[in-house]
Structure 1
Amino acid sequence: MSEGTPTYEPGIRWNDALGILARPTGGSYGTPVAEGAGFKYDEATLHELVKEWTDLAKEYSMDRNEAQMIAIAMPPGQEYASGGNAEVTRDSGNALMSTLDERITYCERMADKYRTALGKYATAEDGATTAINQQPKGIA
């Protein structure tokens, strides 16, 4: 195992044998970026983070759909024990759904923050391009 601080690598799917089959797709999370307009991440990293947070929200949504099955569990029989067990199971399913709702909301908000950062990044990029284009052409 490597020494040092773990570094996020965009594009790695941790279910690919803990990154053994990793397919990095770009970005620089964890790598120092030149100081300037105040951006911590480059554009590729921002796009990757939006995708990863959105994908995670989708995964939680699928889990929530499955949790609904737990929340509507019916007792297998008419006796007291079956009814009590089903009630506890439904309560558990409802708690799971509530927790997953919170996680979905959190992931969606994180993706939105990175989308906002991308907008600021694009605005700064456009401003820099405009400033460069206004400079005199050729050697003075």
Structure 2
Amino acid sequence: MAQHETSPVAAKTPVTALAAALLTMVLWASAFVAIRHIGESVRPGSLALGRLLVGALALLAVVTVRREGLPPRAAWPGIVGMGVFWFGLYMVALNWGERHTEAGTAALLVGAGPLLVALLAGFLLHEGFPRPL
């Protein structure tokens, strides 16, 4: 009789990982309600800037704790481009849309994004659909 090996997926998940996942889910779910509420009094661009500043401070804290340096010079055009397109376009459009959409609907649409990207990549880019996906 062959002995089965334990895969990393089958291994017990540490309590800290479960707590982190639960906290992430609660914060993610409440973010849509908070954005909907704040969006009534704060303009979409200002809200996007606030989100950028919070993210930048969190990233700065991680980089400081890990004592990492700045990215190489060649990476900066891509970083700036992503900043402009992600926060400058996507976040402002998302914040504007959430002013006119219920929080649950917005959460469903944003949550379905990764699934749609995976499906489009599988079909249009011929990447296929590996088993873990």
- Which interval holds the TM-score relative to the shorter structure? under 0.3
Of structures 1 and 2, the one with the larger relative CO (CA 8 A, separation 6+) is 2
Q: TM-score, with normalisation over the residues of structure 1?
A: 0.26
User: Which structure has the highest helix share of the two?
Assistant: 2
